[in-house]
Structure 1
Amino acid sequence: MAKVDAPAVEERQKGILGWIEKTGNKLPDPVIIFAYLIGILIVVSVITDWMGVSVEHPVRVNEDGSPVVEPARMLFRSELIEHLLVRMPTIFTSFHPLGYVLVVMLGAGVAERAGLFGTAMRAAVRNAPRFLLTPAVALVAMLANLAADAAYVVLIPLAGVIYAAAGRHPIAGITAAFAGVSGGFSANLFPGQLDALLFGITEAAVGSLVTDWVMNIAGNWYFIAVMTIFYLPVIWFVTDGIIEKRLGKWTGGAVAGSSDADDDPDAPLTAGQKKGLAHAGLAVLAVVFLWLFLTVDLVELVSFGAVSVWGGNPPLLNPDPALEVTQQLIPFFTSLVAGFLILFLAAGVAYGMAAGTIKTHRDTVEMMAGGMKDMGYYLVLAFAAAYFVEMFNLSNLGIISAVNGANAIQQSGLPLPIVLGLIVLFAGVLNLFVGSASAKWAFMAPILVPMLMLLGISPEMATAAYRVGDSATNIITPLMVYFPLVLVFARRWVPDFGIGSLTAAMLPYSIWLLITGIIMTIAWVYLGLPLGPGAEVGYTLPGAN
């Protein structure tokens, strides 16, 4: 890929987009933002402690039955300073998202480096009919979120080549793929790494209110699957009905100065790649069957209860008959983090051994280590976020803000579906300035999740609303880490394509995705549809009438 200089200042979009770019570029790294937030938190804790601010805890009670009063606590207290310094390693390692994400990435790193993700994406879109090219690219792009970085690096430039080979404008292919990968970042037919990351943060936020809530990685499964179905025609309509008409007819040919074999959509998959995909598919089926076997006693089922392989109950099923089915399946839900590790690892190794990208067990270990190397920045960010969340909880400002915020919303008379819609909009605006999904959720969740729980909205629904807003505006902010890379991909085809050009091309996607997401969120709350297995829109505090 040819080196492309940064776009000149005069190329940049003026007006509101220019202001967003200039303002956003002045913001520090999210790690430093957390450092500033910790400083602000310390000052606020001193002021609120001095003012005697407090609230009655909505759940916890004293021995005499009176509600526990939670006062604001100054973080300069001796016992709090001792806690923060003595327990520093524990605060970091016990940060809920950390373990979930690292476990999943051990397997995903192998699947990506072995070539499984890239080959699977090529195979999925290369033979799509011209008329169905856009929905095929959009669907694969949203599903490719499971592949993380590989979706940006492989699918987006490949979409440009495929569109050009089909006689269509390559920029339209790039924008469609970018809209699916990044604008539909939370949409997917299956839970994945993002679910583990966000629900880990949600679990930490819930802890300030109740302690018995268990993270369910499939808690948004139905929601994100429906989001995928709704976003697909939106991306199709915007690409074919708006962007491609605006771009005009493409007459520049099918290749943009690259001789990479993987960029040629007409190049057939090698025999090794085909064999690798077949072996990976068998590995996926084997892991799915294994998890089914660990959850349902198939022998007992077939023999009508005459035999039990497990001598009682399967490992991933709670045997208590008094519990509802969804509660009996809690061990299954919480095991899905380990399930994704084994799924990605098995599929990646099966592909690599068949395709020749993995020759010995040492290759597998190196790929797992490579996946961990890519998480270096996340570890730094997680340390800062873990300390902010811990200090926020110690100060009691989280529960105070949640109770007062819930009371304010109740007094405003706003319907809860509208409140969720406004939260989607707020997350979308904030995303223009802070690109990291985990960073934003880490400092929004401690207030937002308990506040909505007090209003009868579940942590799963709060997480779903945030996800809609977070993804829709990814594609119009230059602060998004892959935005410059997509710009380089576009300039391979149109050399004078500037940052304003890319932003203007992606703006219709962002607007329509945001509108669709807000309507979907509001309708979901009104209808009270389940968000995933065992995850409802509503929530009742323990002990509440």
Structure 2
Amino acid sequence: MSESKKKKGFVDRSLDIIEKSGNKLPDPVVIFISLCVIILIASCITGSLGIKAKNPADGKIVEAVNLLTPSGIAKMISEAVNNFAEFPPLGLVLVVMLGVGIAEKTGYFETVMKYTIEKAPKKIIVPVIILVGILGNAAGDAAPIVLPPIAAMIFIKLGYHPIAGLVMAYASALGGFSASLVIGMTDALVVSFTEPATKLVSDSVHVNAAMNYYFLCASTLLLLIVAWFVTVKIVIPRFGHYENAVEEEEDGITKQERRAMLFANIGLLVVLIVIAALAIPENGILRNAKTGSLIDDSPLMNGIVPIITILFLVPGLIYGFVAKTMRTTRQFAKMLGDAMSTMGPFIVIVFFAAQMLAYFTWSNLGTIMAIKGAEALKGANGVVLILGVLILSAGINMLMGSASAKWAILAPILVPMLMLLGYHPAFTQVIYRVGDSITNPITPMMPYLPLLLSFAQRYQKDIGLGTLIAALMPYSVAFGIFWTLLLIVWYLLGIPVGPGGPIHLP
């Protein structure tokens, strides 16, 4: 019996159902328009009924706002352009794509990948990409934008389907968002909400940005293994052979290409040295001028997008000139234009996605749901409490994409509540971070999902969201199961989650 006729297993059959159901949905643009309508109707109903909740952060009453009023309609009309222009990932994506586009169009990526595949053992390339994705949160939101298209090109060279590379990189970057081997701006961001929530109960309990470090390091190793297994055993076999892949044996790297790559890599190294020289000294200009921090409100973190763009642009330009794939300024301008032209579908989707997220924020529906959900956990304890906070965080993540916005709402509820039950804020914070991360790959509220779809459409024009969600689902399910088990075992053993981060209060 041929491979294609073999009976599919339970996992494949389940994913087929998700894919078929998802692909029956309208085009993503229509989906976001429909979600806008649903949110507006929900705001009208909840606003008319006077649905409200008390925000424990400031004690103020949060009321559902009916947007289908004269003032609400006027606001939707007047703020439509601002919603689009201020959509966070839009500028980030377009700026990064300038550098990525040059590195791709000149052939720099192609040569580097050929060389890597020739020299590196094939077995380690996939886990290296996964690890880069997991650690990418140290660079803010750049990883889910930069890594997927690079992973897709590498997968073609490896003989795999490029969309398998896209979803693997995306799931690694977002599903493993809270895991890391270094203290990053995410750690500083979440603790900024945990600290004031802690002081609601006690001034003697101290928190710090590194208090989840031990657990997050262990999580990095765990998620690397889990994502690697899911990719090799489920995702790569599911997508199968890429029909447009070049079957014939490709020529090796020419002497000119090798020389161009060498000079390009030297240029990249010089840029990295310059960045280090501006960041490492105590008075470096990439540090926060007042505090000296490299993480908290520093030019390094605030300017990570143009920095990443330069890291791609410089070697791309050098390679183009040395390899003679870019000889004139007109070719340079055309390459930039070609890079931007691929973003057309993404820009269209973003317009409607931006309106949807704005309506959800204005209506206060997300905030009310978060408060009500957290209040429902009161009375739980032990493992049940851990599972409750995880499910709450993961569920709310399907409605609110911003991790900081969710924790700003949940921290004043969950941190004091668990402190009164004897749990340290560090433990509460780490439970939230796990729950918040596991549904990141599949939430429609994540603004990078439309970008992933636009990348995928380069390789399969008719691909739908159902196909992507079906491919991403195994990562969320596997992360949810194994990360939760790690957290429960950690809790039962009573191991501190980080420096100054015990499970229980002294």
Fold in common (TM above 0.5) = yes
The letter for the 2-side match of 1:46 is C
Q: Does 1:151 align with 2:140?
A: no
Does the 8 Å CA contact 2:52/2:61 hold for their aligned counterparts?
yes
Q: Does 1:283 align with 2:267?
A: yes
Give the CA RMSD over aligned residues. 5.3
Counterpart Cα distance in 2 of 1:76 and 1:505: 37
Counterpart Cα distance in 1 of 2:353 and 2:117: 38
Alpha-carbon deviations, 1:205-232, whole Å to 9, x = none?
Answer: x9xx99xxxxxxxxx9999987664455
Counterpart Cα distance in 2 of 1:336 and 1:460: 26
2:278 paired residue among 287, 294, 317: 294
Unaligned runs of 5+ in 2: 134-143, 180-185, 198-211, 416-424, 445-451, 462-466
Alpha-carbon deviations, 1:306-360, whole Å to 9, x = none?
Answer: xxxxxxx54332233xx48466563321111121111111121122222222222
The letter for the 2-side match of 1:37 is L
Counterpart Cα distance in 1 of 2:476 and 2:378: 31
Alpha-carbon deviations, 1:89-129, whole Å to 9, x = none?
Answer: 11211122222222222211211222222322222222345
RCO higher in structure (CA 8 A, sep ≥6): 2
User: Mean alpha-carbon deviation: is it higher for 81-90 or for 455-464?
Assistant: 455-464
Counterpart Cα distance in 2 of 1:337 and 1:523: 38
Give 1:184 shift: 3.4
Does the 8 Å CA contact 2:47/2:63 hold for their aligned counterparts?
yes
SS of equivalent residue, structure 1 residue 409: coil
The letter for the 2-side match of 1:158 is K
Match of 1:397 in 2: 365
Count of aligned pairs: 427
Query: Residues 96-495 of structure 1 correspond to what in structure 2 (within 5 A)?
Result: 96-129=88-121, 133-140=122-129, 143=132, 146-152=146-152, 154-160=153-159, 180-181=168-169, 184-186=172-174, 229-234=221-226, 263-264=249-250, 267-297=251-281, 313-320=283-290, 323=291, 325=293, 330-413=298-381, 417-419=386-388, 421-422=390-391, 448-454=406-412, 455-456=414-415, 465-471=435-441
Counterpart Cα distance in 1 of 2:341 and 2:460: 26
SS of equivalent residue, structure 1 residue 281: helix
Does the 8 Å CA contact 1:280/1:347 hold for their aligned counterparts?
yes
Unaligned runs of 5+ in 1: 1-6, 61-66, 161-170, 192-198, 211-219, 248-255, 302-312, 431-439, 475-479, 489-499, 531-535, 539-545
Q: Matched residues, percent identical? A: 27
Give 1:487 shift: 10
The letter for the 1-side match of 2:318 is A
Counterpart Cα distance in 2 of 1:86 and 1:364: 38
Counterpart Cα distance in 1 of 2:69 and 2:478: 49
Match of 1:95 in 2: 87
Alpha-carbon deviations, 1:51-96, whole Å to 9, x = none?
Answer: 2222233334xxxxxx432222111232222222122211211122
Counterpart Cα distance in 1 of 2:72 and 2:18: 39
Counterpart Cα distance in 1 of 2:9 and 2:20: 10
Give 1:288 shift: 2.1
Counterpart Cα distance in 1 of 2:344 and 2:154: 24
Counterpart Cα distance in 1 of 2:78 and 2:317: 42
The letter for the 2-side match of 1:114 is T
User: Residue 324 and residue 317 in structure 1: after superposition, are their counterparts in 2 closer, same or farther (change >3 A)?
Assistant: closer
Query: TM (normalized to structure 2)?
Result: 0.66
User: Residue 528 and residue 45 in structure 1: after superposition, are their counterparts in 2 closer, same or farther (change >3 A)?
Assistant: same
